[in-house]
Amino acid sequence: MLTSLGEVDIGVRVKALEELLARKGLIDPTALDAVVDFYETKVGPRNGARVVARAWVDPAYKQRLLSDATAAIAELRYTGAQGEHMVVAENTEAVHNIVVCTLCSCYPWPVLGLPPVWYKSMPYRSRVVRDPRGVLEEFGTHLPETTEIRVWDSNSEIRYMVLPRRPAGTEGMDEEALAALVTRDSMIGVREALAPGDVAGEAA
**Quick check: 142 and 75 in contact, CB under 8 A?**
no
User: Who has greater pLDDT, 21 or 61?
Assistant: 61
Q: What is the pLDDT of residue 39?
A: 55
* Rounded-to-integer distance, Cα 73 and Cα 63, Å: 12
Question: Counting every residue, how long is the chain?
Answer: 204
The binding site for Fe(3+) comprises 101, 104-106
Indicate the domain borders of the chain: 2-201
Which pLDDT value is given to residue 162?
A: 98
Q: What is the pLDDT of residues 44-95, one digit of tens each?
A: 689 999 999 999 999 999 999 999 999 999 999 998 777 789 999 999 999 9
- Residues 159 and 161: their CA atoms lie apart, in Å, by 7
Verdict on whether the full-model pTM lies above 0.85 = no
Catalytic residues: 101, 104-106
Residues facing residue 90 across a β-bridge: 163
Which residues are part of a known binding site?
101, 104-106
Ranking 2-6, 38-42, 88-92, 133-137 by mean pLDDT, the lowest is: 2-6
**87-116 tens-digit pLDDT:** 999 999 999 999 999 998 899 989 998 899
Q: How many angstroms separate the first and last alpha carbons of the chain? A: 16
Q: CA-CA distance, 130 to 194, in Å (whole number)?
A: 27
What is the CATH architecture assignment of 2-201? Alpha-Beta Complex (3.90)
